[in-house]
Chains A and B, each alone.
Chain A
Amino acid sequence: MDTPLPEFQTLDPRVKSLWRMSNAIGFGFLALLFGVGGIFAGRIGVPVLPQVLWGIAALWVLWCAFALFRYIELAFENAGWALDDSVLWIRQGVWWQVTQLLPLSRLQHIDLKRGPWERKLGLATLTLHTAGTHAATLTLSGLSVEDAERLRDRLVAAGGDDGV
């Protein structure tokens, strides 16, 4: 009797810096918004609002500290991929965990994308297209370039016999 789950490969650890960077920008923007909102509210003399906004900003910064270190570790632990008997498994998510299974014969085409941060870190994202509707495209990000290229070639070789 086989085990129901395949062995998952982790992503490239460098992806954590990528996530931290992109999250920090978003988080920082929100914190700034609350902080500036608080200052502004204080200037025009609204009574309780500035304190509330600063409170939110402080909590937000605390949460971000948690997110940037602990949460991203968790996300890294939970993300991964596996190639099992010509089926590609991709999983991600911390609280809501999503796993997608792609039988390779369903693969229509693959994109390999690299954003500026990814280029800097030596990472790449694979986008896998199927003929489906609801979940027609799958993304697997956070692979090292070499891994991504190797995986892409393997997927194409395995799935390429028919598609359409």
Chain B
Amino acid sequence: MASELLQGRLHPATLITAVLEILRRAAGSVVPILAVAVLGGRGFKGGFSLIVVGLSALGLVASLGFALVRYFTFTYSIDETELQTQEGIWWKHERRIPLARIQDIRLEQNILHRLFKVAALQVETAGGSGAEASLSVISLTDAERLRAYLFAHREVTPAVPAFDLELPPAPATPELVLRAVTLKELMIAGLTQSWLGTAMAGLGGVIFWLREYLPRRAQSSLLRTGAETASGWLSSSGVSLGLGIALIGLLVLLTGMGVSIVRTILLFYGFKLTRTGEDLSRAYGLLNRHVSRLPRRRIQVLEIEQSPLRRFVGVAVLRADTAGSIATHGKESAHNTGRDVLVPLLSRDAVDALLPELLPGLSSESPVWQPISPLAIRREALPGTYLCLILSLGLSLFLSRIVHTPLWPLGLIPLVFLPFLWLASRWSWKQLGWALDGAGVLLRVRRGVLNRSEYLVPLRNLQVIKVRQSPFDRRLGLLSLHVDTAGQTLTGGGPRLDHVPQEEGWRLVRSLAREAQRQRFRWEK
């Protein structure tokens, strides 16, 4: 059989999107400064900003040049064994990726891409710090053809993938919808986000921008008119100053809440998690559409995350650490931990129903949590206790002997923290636990005081187990262990399990390591 060969070039829309992207960046950096320079007149503290403008303009021209070169020289081709890309005039860059090594294929479409019916296709392999190959942008039909081809020629999935951007899906094996997130759920997700942080960050950004770029005179006049309006409004409406401040605070909070909701909806609108054979597919986004696909065995660590607010409502976020990289679009979808969001929000009960779909081989019965010895409370609280004692002793001595003040009992203030410390340690202990699922397929660890997380680590993904014992641990006969998996460097691999009694702990790590040895770790199968 003659080797099939698919090849192609970038879509002409590449140029248009590149130009528009440059204009957008210009609008973000050059234009505001210029506008302020022109409008601000003599008050503008000029020279430095103009240099910045010049440099960014130069940068924009250069990136236009790069885009041109890329468009005219970029070619790709696929045969049965590998994907090849080539680009460059003087520095020719050629890359070959064996099809079997491909971890994850992502399609991304922003509004412009959707207008031109094109998409950016990103191919990822394990270990890279970003997309290994980025076909940005190609026509949607090409993208579809390519994806179908890639999946058809990866021995694991014989199925032609369904792919629901704007083309009708043509699934060969049935596509199971595992989870569709409704608008209501997205609103709850936005509402239960830490919108306080969003509000503060937004406010901080605005203030910083004003201080940085607005002429001094305009700043002070803005401040003055603001203060005058506010005081005029206060005196006329008869609202007290305290209430006024409270109102402003409320306004900021509400804005933050609104922004959080809108952002969540924009990012995750129409979220759908589906499974075709062994592959999981996620599609989401209102303006920018993302479709990505990963084989489910590539899930290295699964995290069920619940903030206090979300625990109160009874919902959770499902995150996954995959062996591919998420560096390119991970920033927006996985804000804090670097773990990719698998499902942005679902009720805690639904998680348990979903787990067997994500981690095949998982038993359906609920885990038997092994409690940790109460010694863990002492272990958790002891270092802080010693610190408090030393601090208050030192402070009291300093106040009475060196400053000679009769107020030396003030030095005992650190002791006030002790009850809280022990209480928090107790909480943390109550939450701490581990369970081995079924026939030793999976290690579950739960931890956290306020933000609680449950981690699920399939033992076949386990790489190294690290056991640490501090002097405190050894005195109490405890140990802490950390399981390491392949995957994101950002997240530090697998979870940590603290303060397990020695005897039990050593037995656990020994059986974990043996079990891991028995279950082969493979990138492909």
Measured CB to CB, the residues of A under 8 A from B are 4-6, 84-87, 95-106, 130-136, 138, 162, 164
Q: Which of B482, B513, B523 contacts A134 (CB 8 A)?
A: B482
Q: Which of B469, B491, B514 contacts A87 (CB 8 A)?
A: B514
Report yes or no: A164 in contact with B523, Cβ–Cβ below 8 A: yes
Report yes or no: B485 in contact with A103, Cβ–Cβ below 8 A: no
Indicate if B488 sits at the interface (CB-CB under 8 A): yes
Give chain B nearest CB distance to A132 CB in angstroms.
3
Indicate if B462 sits at the interface (CB-CB under 8 A): yes
The answer to whether residues A4 and B507 also contact, given A103-B462, A106-B516, A135-B484 and a CB cut-off of 8 A, is yes
Interface centre among B462, B464, B466, B485 (most CB of A within 10 A): B464
Interface size on B, residues (CB 8 A): 40
Question: A6 CA to B509 CA in the complex, in Å?
Answer: 12
The answer to whether residues A130 and B470 also contact, given A4-B507, A101-B509 and a CB cut-off of 8 A, is no
Indicate if B510 sits at the interface (CB-CB under 8 A): yes
Excluding A95-B470, A97-B474, A100-B465, 8 further A-B contacts by CB distance (< 8 Å) are: A84-B510, A96-B470, A103-B513, A130-B464, A133-B484, A134-B492, A135-B482, A162-B521
Q: Which residue of B lies closest to A94 (CB)?
A: B471
> For chain B residues 335-369, which have a beta carbon within 8 Å of chain A?
none
The answer to whether residues A133 and B517 also contact, given A4-B510, A100-B465, A162-B522 and a CB cut-off of 8 A, is no
Indicate if B190 sits at the interface (CB-CB under 8 A): no
Give chain B nearest CB distance to A96 CB in angstroms.
5
Give chain B nearest CB distance to A106 CB in angstroms.
5
Question: A5 CA to B520 CA in the complex, in Å?
Answer: 23
* Residues of the B chain whose Cβ atoms lie less than 8 Å from the Cβ of A130: 463-464, 484
Report yes or no: B517 in contact with A86, Cβ–Cβ below 8 A: yes
The answer to whether residues A105 and B517 also contact, given A99-B466, A130-B463 and a CB cut-off of 8 A, is yes
Indicate if B126 sits at the interface (CB-CB under 8 A): yes
Give chain A nearest CB distance to B23 CB in angstroms.
39
The answer to whether residues A136 and B468 also contact, given A103-B516, A106-B463 and a CB cut-off of 8 A, is no
Report yes or no: A101 in contact with B467, Cβ–Cβ below 8 A: yes
Question: A105 CA to B523 CA in the complex, in Å?
Answer: 13
Report yes or no: B510 in contact with A131, Cβ–Cβ below 8 A: no
Report yes or no: A87 in contact with B517, Cβ–Cβ below 8 A: yes
| Bitwise interface map of B from 486 to 520 toward A, beta carbon under 8 Å scored 1, else 0 | 11110111100000000101110110111011001
Q: Which residue of B lies closest to A103 (CB)?
A: B517
Give chain B nearest CB distance to A140 CB in angstroms.
13
What are 25 contact pairs spanning A and B, CB under 8 A? A4-B505, A5-B510, A87-B517, A96-B471, A97-B469, A98-B468, A99-B509, A100-B466, A101-B509, A101-B510, A101-B512, A102-B464, A104-B517, A106-B521, A130-B464, A131-B323, A131-B521, A133-B484, A133-B492, A134-B484, A134-B492, A135-B482, A138-B464, A162-B520, A164-B522
Measured CB to CB, the residues of B under 8 A from A are 126-127, 323, 462-471, 474, 482, 484-489, 491-494, 503, 505-507, 509-510, 512-514, 516-517, 520-523
Q: Which residue of B lies closest to A164 (CB)?
A: B523
Q: Which of A84, A97, A101 contacts B468 (CB 8 A)?
A: A97
The answer to whether residues A96 and B469 also contact, given A87-B517, A132-B485, A133-B493 and a CB cut-off of 8 A, is yes
Give chain A nearest CB distance to B272 CB in angstroms.
29
* Residues of the B chain whose Cβ atoms lie less than 8 Å from the Cβ of A136: 463-464, 484
Interface centre among B323, B474, B516 (most CB of A within 10 A): B516
Report yes or no: B491 in contact with A133, Cβ–Cβ below 8 A: yes
* Residues of the A chain whose Cβ atoms lie less than 8 Å from the Cβ of B487: 133
Report yes or no: B467 in contact with A131, Cβ–Cβ below 8 A: no
Question: A112 CA to B319 CA in the complex, in Å?
Answer: 38
The answer to whether residues A131 and B486 also contact, given A85-B514, A101-B509 and a CB cut-off of 8 A, is yes
Report yes or no: A96 in contact with B468, Cβ–Cβ below 8 A: yes
Give chain A nearest CB distance to B472 CB in angstroms.
10
Q: Which residue of A lies closest to B507 (CB)?
A: A4
The answer to whether residues A105 and B506 also contact, given A100-B464, A132-B464, A135-B484 and a CB cut-off of 8 A, is no
* Residues of the A chain whose Cβ atoms lie less than 8 Å from the Cβ of B468: 96-99
Question: A130 CA to B468 CA in the complex, in Å?
Answer: 19
Question: A87 CA to B517 CA in the complex, in Å?
Answer: 7
Q: Which residue of B lies closest to A97 (CB)?
A: B469
* Residues of the B chain whose Cβ atoms lie less than 8 Å from the Cβ of A86: 514, 517
Question: A95 CA to B463 CA in the complex, in Å?
Answer: 26
Question: A110 CA to B438 CA in the complex, in Å?
Answer: 34
